[in-house]
Structure 1
Amino acid sequence: MLILGISAFYHDSAAAIVRDGEIVAAAQEERFTRVKHDSAFPENAVRYCLAAAGATGSEVDHVVFYEKPFLKFERLLETYLAFAPKGFESFRKAMPLWIGEKIFQRDIIAKALKAVDLDLAKDEKLLFSEHHFSHAASAFYPSPFERAVVLTMDGVGEWTTTSVARGDGSNLSIFKEIHFPHSLGLLYSALTYYTGFKVNSGEYKVMGLAPYGEPKFAKLMLDELIDVKADGSFRLNLDYFDYCTALKMTNDRFDELFGAPARKPEERLDQRHMDLAASVQAVTEEVVLRLTRALAAETGEKNLCLAGGVALNCVANGKVLRDGSFDNIFVQPAAGDAGGALGAALAAYHHQKQQPRHVTPGKDGMKGSYLGPSYDQAEIEKRLGSVGAEYAVLDDDALIEATVEALVAGQAVGWHQGRMEFGPRALGGRSILGDPRSPTMQKALNLKVKFRESFRPFAPSVLRERVAEWFELDCDSPYMLLVANVRPEHCRTMSADEQALFGIDKLNVPRSDIPAVTHVDYSARVQTVHADTNPRYHRLLTRFEAATGCPVLINTSFNVRGEPIVSTPEDAFRCFMGSDIEFLAVGNCVLRKNEQDPALALDYKNAFELD
């Protein structure tokens, strides 16, 4: 049975295809259109998934949309009626769009499918899943667990903002929900907006900013913004928020509570903004820990699966793991709405069609999340030649050796290998790499390569076999979704004077043997690299360790700020020529910046809308 899943029309549109319960391919539309968080129908991703499956539309048994549009329209309408007449103007402006996109979305989807393949659009093929059930399915069905509690948390689906399900074999059933407008995701997004970042894209910046601050506002938030019960259930005080009735997240009363208006985008960050970030992060962790502790006690289950946008909060995930209420945790790598496409396909296969599920203990079904397009060597050479690239073709050994030499020399390395990752993280398929031992690499990569805010931390990739020797973590973390501290023997204690520095100034103080991936609180967002899912990247790390004694590399996504992660070899070459990346490996092709035609240089610093 071949099932195509689709998410679209909000943000991070995607498609995924599943054959007899096995994930064949998945990709976000933004990687093809080069529009960050593209919400359009994922026509390109659908075409890719069909090609990866070697299938035509006639061979697809079902197409599944990740949520139920009419339920979402019902929520929008009932919310307006509950708050009327407040917000009439925003309601008046939005109503034509709601009618077009929600009530008639089935027709819109069918028309878009016809543009790809007429046989995809047959009425009997089209199914719908509920938003949070899609999230839950995306986490449980690929997990390595026969049984688990499944917790999903995001902004909002149709009505649900938080759900709890039980998974057992092929069975998955939701038994608890929290409904809009009470949402942990929207609380975090409100503080994202208030601290001057973009909602639905800047939340991870708030998480990265939090360690520079102190949670001085956490008590105020718990007293005024959110009422959290012992079991983690919660309600928001809607007097402070405008997302129900207006086109902004917070209101004047919110400004009064925190003593100032919202920070403007790109305005200078001060200590107060860092303290606000630390505070909302602390509140989020408190809610999540109360939820997980209560669920473990109530169900007696030992395994936890997580999905939804809040599950991308890898700091909270790390604290849940260390808390020990659950023995094992699996987080869907595409935890946001893109993963809903995959969840919808898996939900249709296992839940709606009641097909059996096969679990491999200790090994998830995501294939390392390397589910996107790949290119063979001949095609890589043809594509690079078409854009005027100068390259040398090396055998496997020479490629690894040349890349390690570039890394040891302190160069920023573009690494475009194998299948593209599904989800927001680069995992060694479309990555920029660097030497984590360098005290200047973090700042250089942020300012000269990524063109992004200097406070943003970088993640370490580490050989799975070595993770416990370098980090306070001894389990798989292949998807960069768990934060752990660098082990004390690799850390350097900061002096009192260094501790007293203004938040961001602490960045320039080496804190460990791998300063470029050690955040100011000695934490790191760890990715374990496995020989079975990414043998070439594993081999690179192994050779880097042999050369330096360090089994760790900086791994950040291959893009600049505001740009989707690169997909094709041409994308990689353009980013290489538009930034200070000095060395590029695409398949077995090696490119050095000083050997390229200077006329091909690009101004990438201003090429994309800031995220």
Structure 2
Amino acid sequence: MKILGLGGSIHDFSACIVVDGEVAVAIEEERLSKVKGSYHDRSTFRCKAVDYCLKYLGINIDDIDIVIGNDIIESDYYVKFADKIKLMNHHLSHASASYYLSNFERSAILVVDGRGSYTDEKNRIRETISFYTSKNCQITLNKKVEGIESDDFEIVTNSLGMFLQYVTVGIGFHEMDDKKTMKLAAKGNDRFVQDFYQFYSISEGEFIQANEQLESLKRYIKQKLEDAHATKIRDQIKADLSYAIQYHLEIIVLEMCNYLYERTGEENLCLSGSIFENATLLSKIKQLSPFKRYFVSTFMGDAGTCLGSALYMYYQDNSKKLLTNRSYSPFLGRKYTQQDINTALGVYDAKYEHLDSYPEKRLAELLEQGNLIGIFNGRSEFGRAPLGSRCILGNPSFLLNKVRLNKIKNRKLESSFMAFILDENWLGIDNNNLSSPYFVNTCYLNSSEIPPPLNNGNWSTYFITTDQKVNSLIHNLVNEFYNLTALPMVINTPLKISGATLIETPLDALEFFYQSYLDYLYIDNYLITKNM
């Protein structure tokens, strides 16, 4: 059976094809349109992601048995399939994207985002939080929190996503840039934490926030920033407001987790929804919630609903048994051929050397010398975390690399970076209760343990542990780097500039390379340089 899944809402459009229960290919529309989040982008409605998936598998739309998406996708996105598409509940699609890839036979599931499906469209009632349990392929709703949407669509009550978004926008970021708020929180302090209790309440797992409380929050933020008479003071206030929302986000979600555990008694927890695109929150859940095992995918936002919808449809046949022994991989883009690579190299008349059977040693030597290397390795990752397929690597012991990388990324010079770490035991972290090898951790270390380019500002760092089975190139490379330097980590950041979309094609990678300050670019055994 071939199922075409469409994902998104009014942003983060995507497509995938599931063949007999396995995800064969998936791509986010933004990788093809080059508009981050496909936000307010009319070209999105050409549905390039579907064409990409069909072409990769060598099939056409007539070979697809079922087309499915969630019921808040902008209708223009699926207009070509309007006569055959099935639509399902948005939060159920999120839940499915996590559970059906988790390898758990049974689990509790928590979905939290800004707004989901209408539960009463006439009265503008929308789901904001959903609690589920799952067993033997079936997902059952336990409880749902709902909010009222304003006539202008700007506000939804009882929405944790809206609470976070109000702070994000209030301190000057784009409404889709909640991750920037999370990162800024590392530079803040707790002076506004107590004040934030007035803006919500929580009871029996239900987050409660009235329209008046949101408006009060908006005025509060505006007043705090207006009271600052210098840019430096204003920047610190923004960091402190970020700290406050991050603090409350953590205690609210932890209370939800405790409620779900007490209500279900399950040992496994699957998480989905845009709120969980927050590494610090995920680390706190892992450390402090009562569940024993966790699964978090690399696509908690609306793009991931393409996979959730398709997998949900596959498992609606009661004769299907849950696939629990598969090796989940987020590397779901197409594999580019040797001809694709050679054509791209020819366009730029690229200077390169071909690395044969074991390129990791050569790459590690270049990193040791302080070089910055772009990595284009195999199929692209689905989701925005840099997992080793489209990334930039650097030596964290070279302090100048932080400055150079921020110039390449077009970011503020004080911005820090994520790391690939060889073994979390080096940090004294137990990761055995985590089912996903792609989990982005946050760890607090003392000043002697963390290289400055990886320091978020409060002696914390974001990191992903390497895994030989998941990505042998990255794992072996970090291991070789460790052998050379005794440092079991390398800088890891997405192969793109800030605000842009992740690189998809070899031609994209070469264009980025020649316009940047990167020293080398590795494309599937080709090491490209600007000087030879």
Secondary structure of 1:37's counterpart equals helix
Aligned: 1:366 with 2:328: yes
Q: Which has the higher helix share?
A: 1
CA distance in structure 2 between the aligned counterparts of 1:576 and 1:259, rounded to whole angstroms: 39
* Counterpart in the other structure of 2:64: 60
CA distance in structure 2 between the aligned counterparts of 1:456 and 1:234, rounded to whole angstroms: 32
Aligned: 1:336 with 2:298: no
Secondary structure of 1:179's counterpart equals strand
Question: Aligned match of 1:151 in 87, 91, 110?
Answer: 110
CA distance in structure 2 between the aligned counterparts of 1:237 and 1:60, rounded to whole angstroms: 45
* Counterpart in the other structure of 1:383: 344
* Counterpart in the other structure of 1:212: 187
Output one character per residue of 1:249-277: Cα deviation in whole Å (capped at 9) or x when no partner.
Answer: 97546534x463899xx999621111000
* Change beyond 3 A, Cα 1:556–1:177: same
Q: CA deviation at 1:562?
A: 1.6
Aligned: 1:281 with 2:246: yes
Query: Map of 1:337-352 to 2, 5 A cutoff?
Result: 337-351=302-316
CA distance in structure 2 between the aligned counterparts of 1:267 and 1:19, rounded to whole angstroms: 54
Q: CA deviation at 1:215?
A: 2.3
Output one character per residue of 1:306-340: Cα deviation in whole Å (capped at 9) or x when no partner.
Answer: 01000111111111111140111111210001001
Q: CA deviation at 1:419?
A: 0.6
Query: Map of 1:76-225 to 2, 5 A cutoff?
Result: 105=75, 108-109=76-77, 111-113=79-81, 123=83, 125-158=84-117, 159-180=126-147, 181-200=157-176, 202-223=177-198, 225=199
Q: CA deviation at 1:418?
A: 0.6
Secondary structure of 2:101's counterpart equals coil
**How many residues of Structure 1 are paired with residues of Structure 2 in the alignment?**
509
Q: Which amino acid aligns with 1:472?
A: I
Secondary structure of 1:415's counterpart equals strand
TM-score for both structures, normalised by structure 2: 0.90
* Change beyond 3 A, Cα 1:278–1:252: closer
RMSD value, Cα: 2.5
CA distance in structure 1 between the aligned counterparts of 2:494 and 2:262, rounded to whole angstroms: 38
Q: Which has the higher strand share?
A: 2
Q: Is the 8 A contact 1:377 1:588 kept in 2?
A: no
Q: Is the 8 A contact 1:27 1:371 kept in 2?
A: yes
Q: Which amino acid aligns with 1:531?
A: Q
CA distance in structure 2 between the aligned counterparts of 1:309 and 1:406, rounded to whole angstroms: 37
* Counterpart in the other structure of 1:96: none
Q: CA deviation at 1:443?
A: 3.5
Output one character per residue of 1:361-409: Cα deviation in whole Å (capped at 9) or x when no partner.
Answer: 6x6x531x00112213342122221233222222132x32331122111
* Counterpart in the other structure of 1:508: none
CA distance in structure 1 between the aligned counterparts of 2:357 and 2:482, rounded to whole angstroms: 17
Q: Is the 8 A contact 1:241 1:254 kept in 2?
A: no
CA distance in structure 1 between the aligned counterparts of 2:175 and 2:78, rounded to whole angstroms: 30
Aligned: 1:260 with 2:229: no
Query: Map of 1:31-42 to 2, 5 A cutoff?
Result: 31-39=31-39, 40-41=44-45
* Counterpart in the other structure of 2:121: none
Q: CA deviation at 1:594?
A: 3.1
Secondary structure of 1:241's counterpart equals helix
Output one character per residue of 1:553-603: Cα deviation in whole Å (capped at 9) or x when no partner.
Answer: 1111000012101011111111112221111101111111334xxxxxxxx
* Change beyond 3 A, Cα 1:405–1:321: same
Secondary structure of 1:594's counterpart equals coil
Q: Which amino acid aligns with 1:260?
A: E
Q: CA deviation at 1:358?
A: 2.9
Q: Is the 8 A contact 2:187 2:456 kept in 1?
A: no
* Counterpart in the other structure of 1:395: 356
Question: Aligned match of 1:576 in 507, 513, 519?
Answer: 513
Query: Map of 1:189-588 to 2, 5 A cutoff?
Result: 189-200=165-176, 202-223=177-198, 225-229=199-203, 231-241=204-214, 251-252=218-219, 255-256=222-223, 258=224, 260=226, 270-351=235-316, 353-354=317-318, 356-360=320-324, 366-367=328-329, 369-397=330-358, 399-446=359-406, 448-463=407-422, 466-475=423-432, 478-486=437-445, 491-492=446-447, 511-588=448-525
Secondary structure of 1:15's counterpart equals strand
* Counterpart in the other structure of 2:152: none
Q: Is the 8 A contact 2:340 2:506 kept in 1?
A: no
**Which blocks of at least 5 consecutive residues in structure 1 are unaligned?**
70-100, 114-120, 243-248, 493-510, 596-611
Q: CA deviation at 1:295?
A: 1.3
CA distance in structure 2 between the aligned counterparts of 1:514 and 1:396, rounded to whole angstroms: 32
Q: Which amino acid aligns with 1:373?
A: R
CA distance in structure 1 between the aligned counterparts of 2:530 and 2:356, rounded to whole angstroms: 20
Q: Which amino acid aligns with 1:147?
A: R
Q: Is the 8 A contact 1:418 1:587 kept in 2?
A: yes
CA distance in structure 2 between the aligned counterparts of 1:254 and 1:519, rounded to whole angstroms: 24
Q: Is the 8 A contact 1:8 1:41 kept in 2?
A: no
Q: Is the 8 A contact 2:478 2:488 kept in 1?
A: yes
Q: CA deviation at 1:8?
A: 4.0
- Of 576-585 and 452-461, deviating more is 452-461
Q: Is the 8 A contact 1:196 1:262 kept in 2?
A: no
**Which blocks of at least 5 consecutive residues in structure 2 are unaligned?**
118-125, 148-156
Q: Which amino acid aligns with 1:274?
A: A
Q: Is the 8 A contact 2:103 2:324 kept in 1?
A: yes
* Counterpart in the other structure of 1:78: none
* Change beyond 3 A, Cα 1:275–1:165: same
Q: CA deviation at 1:145?
A: 0.9
Q: Which amino acid aligns with 2:350?
A: A
Q: Which amino acid aligns with 1:185?
A: G
Q: Which amino acid aligns with 2:205?
A: G
CA distance in structure 1 between the aligned counterparts of 2:459 and 2:220, rounded to whole angstroms: 36
Secondary structure of 2:104's counterpart equals coil
TM-score for both structures, normalised by structure 1: 0.79
* Counterpart in the other structure of 2:20: 20
* Change beyond 3 A, Cα 1:435–1:250: same
Q: Is the 8 A contact 2:205 2:260 kept in 1?
A: no
* Change beyond 3 A, Cα 1:481–1:513: closer
Output one character per residue of 1:335-354: Cα deviation in whole Å (capped at 9) or x when no partner.
Answer: 00100111111111113x44
Q: Is the 8 A contact 1:331 1:481 kept in 2?
A: no
Q: CA deviation at 1:520?
A: 2.6
Secondary structure of 2:442's counterpart equals strand
CA distance in structure 1 between the aligned counterparts of 2:273 and 2:319, rounded to whole angstroms: 24
Q: Is the 8 A contact 1:312 1:481 kept in 2?
A: no
CA distance in structure 1 between the aligned counterparts of 2:78 and 2:452, rounded to whole angstroms: 52
Q: CA deviation at 1:428?
A: 0.3
Q: Is the 8 A contact 2:254 2:289 kept in 1?
A: no
Q: Is the 8 A contact 2:167 2:221 kept in 1?
A: no
* Change beyond 3 A, Cα 1:526–1:42: farther
* Change beyond 3 A, Cα 1:153–1:42: farther
* Change beyond 3 A, Cα 1:426–1:110: closer
Secondary structure of 2:462's counterpart equals strand
Q: Is the 8 A contact 1:29 1:42 kept in 2?
A: no
Output one character per residue of 1:213-245: Cα deviation in whole Å (capped at 9) or x when no partner.
Answer: 11221221112x11123x332211312536xxx
